[in-house]
Amino acid sequence: MANLAVTYQNTGKYSEAEKLEMHVMNKRKELLGSDHPDTLLSMANLAVTYQNLGKYSEAEILGTQVMDKQNKLLGPDHPLTLRGMTNLASVYRHVGKYLEAQILEVQVVDRLKKLLGQDHPDTLLSMANLADTYRNLRKYSEAETLGAQVMGKRKQLLGLDHPDTLLSMGNLAVIYQNLGKYSEAEPLEIEVMDKRKKILGPDHPLTLLSMANLASTYRNLGRYPEAETLNIQVMDERKKLLGPDHPATLHIMHNLALTCVYLQKDSKAQALLTHVVEKRMEKLGLNHNLTQDSIQALIMYHIMRKIVAGKGDQLGDLSTVAKPGIVDVIKKKVTESP
């Protein structure tokens, strides 16, 4: 049963995995006790599934329990302890706790280099995770250096088509995007997307992620129709696979809205951005980086530009689709805008 849950995880069937993993965890707690290694493993697997489902609060609580227990029972250098730290750091990244993630990931990288060596797959994974955290902290130079090291090593050790190699290629392409190196990002993203479609299938979450990243590059290169086509494909698939309010679905809706702004599809941009702002405020809070990004994007939308230009109060239009609290937040933001 546990093996079947892992299969569900690997194929992106997270809801099915959650049901099985919950059953396995409860049975192991009952038969083996809450501190048994097998019980902790099932808790760790369920925490990863929670993260994949966007249930970050549940993932953080369970992941913290697992890490603390493993550290106490197995010691700070045990592989399972380090994996627990890695998983918890990943949750921290998803909820915007990047400094907390960095603290854990630096420890993991240092310990794995000493225990396993610089070229071990687990060491490379920890370096890739730290590079992503650096990117989120806007430490782009450090992120690029580390990301390029990981990609080079994985190509050499694992081959060009290995999932980990493709992951590091995709991650480096995102760093290139952040650095404005769109011409370098595009060929990496196309290669990753094409190989994932062939290896994983067109509907796999990782395939959709590579399509979404390529769409962002197209938008930044001014190729808006191509960006729109990819964004719509990804959004539709994520709605079916993950639901309309999953963080990954909201992310692609945000990106599609930005593309619609450039294509002057104003009503569609407004509806998408308003929905994303509402859901991100609800799930992440007002001060989360992603919520702030969507609020700023909504301000950029042409109704907000009219307000900033002093052409009257256009919030009546927005109030027909937004909750009152959203309008108040945007009014305050517009007032603060230069």
Span 22-50, mean pLDDT?
91
CATH code of 209's domain: 1.25.40.10
Residue-wise pLDDT tens digits, 48-57: 999 988 899 9
pLDDT tier at 310 (50, 70, 90 boundaries)?
A: low
Whether residue 90 is found in the same domain as residue 115 = no
Joined tokens for residue 281? 């405020």
Alpha carbon distances (Å) from 4 to 35, 163, 337: 23, 20, 52
Question: Per the domain annotation, does 139 fall within a domain?
Answer: yes
Question: Per the domain annotation, does 40 fall within a domain?
Answer: yes
Write the DSSP assignment of 97-139 as a string of letters. -HHHHHHHHHHHHHHHHHHH-TTSHHHHHHHHHHHHHHHHTT-
Whether residue 122 is found in the same domain as residue 231 = yes
Whether residue 140 is found in the same domain as residue 61 = no
Measured CA to CA, the distance from residue 164 to residue 21 in angstroms comes to 25
Whether residue 107 is found in the same domain as residue 231 = yes
User: Which of 95, 112, 133 represents a domain boundary (last residue)?
Assistant: 95
Residue-wise pLDDT tens digits, 226-276: 999 999 999 999 999 889 999 899 999 999 998 998 888 888 988 998 899
Count: domains in the chain: 3
With 0.85 as the threshold, say if the pTM is over it: no
Per-residue pLDDT at 202: 93
Cβ atoms 256, 232 nearer than 8 A: yes
Per-residue pLDDT at 308: 45
Whether residue 24 is found in the same domain as residue 90 = yes
Per-residue pLDDT at 17: 85
The sign of the CA dihedral 139, 140, 143, 149 is negative
In terms of Cα–Cα distance, which of 42, 7, 35 is closest to 21?
42
Whether residue 179 is found in the same domain as residue 118 = yes
Host H or E run for residue 140: helix 140-158
Question: Per the domain annotation, does 253 fall within a domain?
Answer: no
Instruction: State which residues form the domain around 13.
Output: 1-95
